[in-house]
Structure 1
Amino acid sequence: MTVEKPEGRPGSAQEGLLAETTPLIEQLVADKVASRLMAQDATLWGPEAESEASVRLAWTRLHETSEPLLGEIAELRGQLHAEGVNRVVLAGMGGSSLAPEVITNTAGRPLIVLDTTDPGQVADALEGDLTSTVLVVSSKSGSTVETDSHRRIFTEAFAAEGIDAASRIVVVTDPGSPLAKEAEEAGYRKVFLADPNVGGRYSALTAFGLVPAGLAGVDLRTLLGDAANTAADLARDSAENPAVLLAAVLGAAHTRGAEKVVLADTGSGIKGFGDWAEQLIAESTGKDGTGLLPVVVEAPDSPGFADAGTDATRVAIGQSDDTTMLATSGSLGGLFLVWEFATAMVGRLLGINPFDQPDVEAAKKAARSLLDSPTDDDGGAPVFTDGPVEVYASAGLLSEVTSTLGVALGALLDATPEHGYLAVQAYLDRIADASAVLLRAELARRTGMQTTFGWGPRFLHSTGQYHKGGHQNGAFLQITGAVTDDLQVPGRPYTLGTLQRAQALGDGQVLADHGRPVLRLHFTDRAAGLAHLVKAVQEVGA
């Protein structure tokens, strides 16, 4: 497991960064942060964080404590396969889906992940062979609205096919959660109770990460073994500790004004690691008006990475052939631990609690309020309509005479602070509307701004914390789309489409209440709207 630091030329920015990194390394080593963290010392982040930290540090030993799970998972997989059940669908959000997705994608094992409220994407999962399907319902709190909706919809679908739903539902949750109680009462196939002393974003090697991946056929013993092989290095109070080095570089860069961390894969063989690290970094550090904003890009030559400015630190996932680049490389199990240790250490350097997420609940409350009082109103009348795109905006963003999509985009960009960032938030189907991801690179190329892309509501369980709690220099481009075939959530007075809309409008309102510029584009026809937006983006800066 290695972390390569930048080698700066005399007088270069890299040399300056290295000069500021050295005392932070010395501080972390002198304070024995690594060994204390491995020993689960809850005092590392100060008295205000101690209560939370005292019940959030069991992740440091998961490479050991999760080993007994492997036999249970293997036994269940064998039973299911004997019954012809080999299609695994995972209903989970945030840490409950991001870790299993990167684990299975890297191993080349099939896993259908539902971390969406888009009716089309859920319907696509329902169209698969339900007679060979097992649904893993994964929620730490046991009350995640998206996951509960998926459970209800699949329960009804199983029953409609004459399948005993209880025999096809596996639950992963914390002890004592509402979901644990419901699973017991319903007689679900298996309930895995995860370690409650691990937060969601640090849960890759708990039951949340291991159960779906194991049922999909991943070699979990190797994953845990790779983590164990790295753990000894991470416990050392040494300048050679890769987590100490990574934390010190990111902390020093933040002090110099580089609060963005741009992540690109350079041939690591690990698929989707940036998406997992995005949640870890953003939710752990983005609070109290500070933090590190992860920016996941498509490739090392992508805009935002190759041309990163002074407000960003480039980090390669994989080997580096550029000595001005910070790089982390090694096995997936090892990288999980390196980044978790480093992120916790960065929290200490920034003076924040890396284990809470004080701003996540605001968007959830706003969405619940809209669900409690559902209407056909789509957030008021649009400021204007340009072809298949209805345009909505936060107060003061657009003038009354604005009439084209290109002008509206220009207004959003003009409202972005210097060295700020642009966040594209797509409340769409990440399968059918997958081409929307191209907007990130195109906007970054044409604006020169650090630009992130998130699927809604998935990002609400990830970068959503940073958007409200981190550096307040973001501008937000929301994209919503018309729903043609909606899905009713059984036992609830709303559809998935209604929930999706409430989540978008609720988060947009919270961002606007924080004084951030928000431009929402609603596609009355998704395909035509996306094409129209792409054309408008291509005219930006032309």
Structure 2
Amino acid sequence: MAGESLGVEIVDAALAEKAAPLAEKLVADQVASKLTAQDPTLWGPDAESESAIRLSWTTLHKSSRPLIGEIAALRAELHAEGVDRVVLAGMGGSSLAPEVITGTDDVALTVLDTTDPGQVADALAGDLSRTVLVVSSKSGGTVETDSHRRIFAKAFAASGIDAARRIVVVTDPGSPFSKLAEEEGYRKTFLADPNVGGRYSALTAFGLVPSGLAGADIARLLDQAAAASDVLSADSADNPAIQLAAALGAAHAEGAEKVVFADTGSGIKGFGDWAEQLIAESTGKLGTGLLPVVVEGPGAPGFADAKSDATAVAIGSAIEPAKISVTGSLGGQFLLWEYATAIAGRLLGINPFDQPDVEAAKKAARALLDNPDALKGGEQPSNVDGTVQIFGSEGVATEGKLADVLRAFLASAPENGYVSVQAYLDRLDDASAALLRPEVAKRSGLQTTFGWGPRFLHSTGQYHKGGHQNGVFLQLTGAVEHDLEVPDRPYTLGVLQHAQALGDGQVLAEHGRPVLRLHLTDRAAGLAELVRALQEVDA
């Protein structure tokens, strides 16, 4: 299905009826054509200054064409030197889009959007003689990405490799990172369109450079987006973006503030993770928004049993109980969801191009890094069960066995609320943590999201603070067996990872949200104990 024409089907008749008048109004207001023309007034005067510098994504299928040849030329140069392993250091849109593009094209790309020392060490353990590091950051100031750059540069040098020849940069023109890249003499710097925000950047250099160097067919991707652009810019009730935005807006107005994604044979790998960031960060603010919930398949808890607070969306065939299905190529779907999300922002009365609450967790983490004593000796668990240390924010019950703590915690969620499971662990070695999402959803009866930390901080992190304030947050942290130094920085990766977890938990608690943190003194054993404890919680 990845190559078929773009299509949106509102399967649920009642939802289609409620969406129709919204679609008619969007057509009458010429929203699609104005968006294509990059009209910054579509979201009201408060949003105008930001939206005026964030709308170039509507024409990337044309403006990104010159990158195809540049990327192909660099790839050929690298291959001639025996360099054919691509590692990407990037966060948020800089990593999520390339991961979907390369996954769908079935080409290898090692994505580093983590501060877990074990996962970074695994990437370092690959053949450095064949490795090029792509460092993607709009400014260069992203702490995770800067840490990866420093660690790899030192590792290259220690292996007798000229680090500058093995580092490729993607950044904005005139950024501090572009200046650093020039000073360090890095192999090549690709400058992305500065008038595109990170979550809309799939078809900029941020999405295309690592994907193209890894071997993905980026020309075809742009062709797919170009083929979709005419229909998406049309002021017509048949415009899939108008249909999708109207359906999501109508559902939200009826209390369905969550959007549950299941792949139903689309041929696109990991699309939900990309859409999650786009929708959550764009809409989750001012106490409103759409919370994306990515599930394992159409039979998974949360999709198969979606209640009135959620809209089930199939990426692919319209399998029951989906209320909406979306089909089309990857390039077409990138553009479709960007249009639909921006238009949904108009319906929700928010600015889809800012992220006012993302900085709060970063500030809290930085404050902890500046006060290392707070990270070392100041923490005492409220309770311990086996290899699991239990910490709770104010008002969170921590007494009893782990199963008792989990039972009370899940019961504390408000009606039609949600559970967010946040794993500050190794996405590869601790992959079994993802099994917690369906277990928690089944036991709680609530929509449940799962995110790897700190990756989700650049994704759903905005919604958690700015969206509907009805979430409860289960954090998982783990003991670090072998830490990694960050060259010329006063902290290790393990310390940074811990600071990010505690900082985000602190901000959530300040918002009055319940936070239960489970620290695994033995990761494998702790995850097994956690699954067993969950199975004791009554569904």
Q: Distance in 1 between matches of 2:189 and 2:222?
A: 21
Q: Corresponding residue for 1:177?
A: 175
Q: Corresponding residue for 1:537?
A: 534
Deviations 1:464-517 (CA, angstroms, capped at 9, x unpaired) = 000000000000000000001000000000000000000000000000000000
Shift of 1:403: 2.4
Kindly report which structure 2 residues correspond to 1:60-209, keeping only aligned pairs within 5 A, or say none: 60-209=58-207
The letter for the 2-side match of 1:385 is V
Deviations 1:283-306 (CA, angstroms, capped at 9, x unpaired) = 000000000000000000000001
Q: Corresponding residue for 1:303?
A: 301
Q: Corresponding residue for 1:391?
A: 390
Q: Distance in 2 between matches of 1:218 and 1:21?
A: 37
Q: Distance in 2 between matches of 1:157 and 1:516?
A: 41
Q: Corresponding residue for 1:501?
A: 498
Q: Distance in 1 between matches of 2:384 and 2:425?
A: 19
CA contact (8 A) 2:83 2:129 kept: yes
Q: Distance in 1 between matches of 2:76 and 2:389?
A: 51
Q: Corresponding residue for 2:312?
A: 314
The one of 3, 21, 36 equivalent to 2:7 is 3
Q: Distance in 1 between matches of 2:168 and 2:18?
A: 49
> The residue matched to 2:403 in structure 1 has which SS?
helix
Q: Corresponding residue for 1:471?
A: 468
Pair 1:416 & 2:416 matched = no
Q: Corresponding residue for 1:528?
A: 525
CA contact (8 A) 2:312 2:321 kept: no
Q: Distance in 1 between matches of 2:371 and 2:96?
A: 32
Q: Distance in 1 between matches of 2:201 and 2:11?
A: 34
Tell me the TM-score normalized by structure 1: 0.97
Q: Distance in 1 between matches of 2:395 and 2:101?
A: 44
Q: Corresponding residue for 1:54?
A: 52
CA contact (8 A) 1:379 1:505 kept: no
Q: Corresponding residue for 1:11?
A: none
78 and 65 in structure 1: CA distance in 2 versus 1, 3 angstrom threshold: same
Shift of 1:377: 2.9
Deviations 1:507-536 (CA, angstroms, capped at 9, x unpaired) = 000000000000000000101111110100
Deviations 1:264-285 (CA, angstroms, capped at 9, x unpaired) = 0000000000000000000000
Q: Percent identity?
A: 71
Pair 1:431 & 2:428 matched = yes
Q: Corresponding residue for 2:332?
A: 334
Q: Corresponding residue for 1:380?
A: 379
Q: Corresponding residue for 2:213?
A: 215
Q: Distance in 2 between matches of 1:390 and 1:178?
A: 41
Q: Distance in 2 between matches of 1:445 and 1:254?
A: 23
Q: Corresponding residue for 2:242?
A: 244
> The residue matched to 2:7 in structure 1 has which SS?
strand
CA contact (8 A) 1:261 1:293 kept: yes
Shift of 1:44: 0.3
Shift of 1:379: 5.8
367 and 456 in structure 1: CA distance in 2 versus 1, 3 angstrom threshold: same
Structure 2, unaligned stretches of length 5 or more? none
CA contact (8 A) 1:6 1:323 kept: no
CA contact (8 A) 1:4 1:320 kept: no
Deviations 1:109-159 (CA, angstroms, capped at 9, x unpaired) = 000000000000000000000000000000112210000000000000000
Pair 1:480 & 2:477 matched = yes
324 and 169 in structure 1: CA distance in 2 versus 1, 3 angstrom threshold: closer
Q: Distance in 1 between matches of 2:514 and 2:71?
A: 47
The letter for the 1-side match of 2:238 is E
486 and 23 in structure 1: CA distance in 2 versus 1, 3 angstrom threshold: same
Shift of 1:414: 1.8
Deviations 1:234-291 (CA, angstroms, capped at 9, x unpaired) = 0100000000000000000000000000000000000000000000000000000000
488 and 241 in structure 1: CA distance in 2 versus 1, 3 angstrom threshold: same
Q: Corresponding residue for 2:509?
A: 512
CA contact (8 A) 1:426 1:479 kept: yes
Kindly report which structure 2 residues correspond to 1:365-376, keeping only aligned pairs within 5 A, or say none: 365-375=363-373, 376=375
Deviations 1:436-476 (CA, angstroms, capped at 9, x unpaired) = 00000111112211000000000000000000000000000
Q: Corresponding residue for 2:446?
A: 449
81 and 129 in structure 1: CA distance in 2 versus 1, 3 angstrom threshold: same
Q: Distance in 2 between matches of 1:463 and 1:199?
A: 16
Q: Distance in 1 between matches of 2:378 and 2:137?
A: 30
CA contact (8 A) 1:106 1:269 kept: yes
The letter for the 1-side match of 2:481 is T
> The residue matched to 1:453 in structure 2 has which SS?
strand
The letter for the 2-side match of 1:456 is G
Q: Corresponding residue for 2:404?
A: 407
The letter for the 2-side match of 1:338 is L
CA contact (8 A) 1:3 1:245 kept: no
> The residue matched to 1:422 in structure 2 has which SS?
strand
CA contact (8 A) 1:87 1:132 kept: yes
Deviations 1:207-256 (CA, angstroms, capped at 9, x unpaired) = 00000000001111110000000000001000000000000000000000
Q: Distance in 1 between matches of 2:368 and 2:518?
A: 19
Shift of 1:194: 0.4
The letter for the 2-side match of 1:6 is I
Shift of 1:324: 5.1
CA contact (8 A) 2:411 2:444 kept: no
Q: Corresponding residue for 1:346?
A: 344
Tell me the TM-score normalized by structure 2: 0.98
Q: Distance in 2 between matches of 1:459 and 1:109?
A: 24
Q: Distance in 2 between matches of 1:50 and 1:129?
A: 48
Shift of 1:541: 0.6
> The residue matched to 1:191 in structure 2 has which SS?
strand
Q: Corresponding residue for 1:325?
A: 323
Deviations 1:315-369 (CA, angstroms, capped at 9, x unpaired) = 0111214485301111000000000000000000000000000000000000000
482 and 378 in structure 1: CA distance in 2 versus 1, 3 angstrom threshold: farther
> The residue matched to 2:41 in structure 1 has which SS?
coil
The one of 245, 253, 256 equivalent to 1:255 is 253
Q: Distance in 2 between matches of 1:2 and 1:302?
A: 26
CA contact (8 A) 2:6 2:228 kept: no
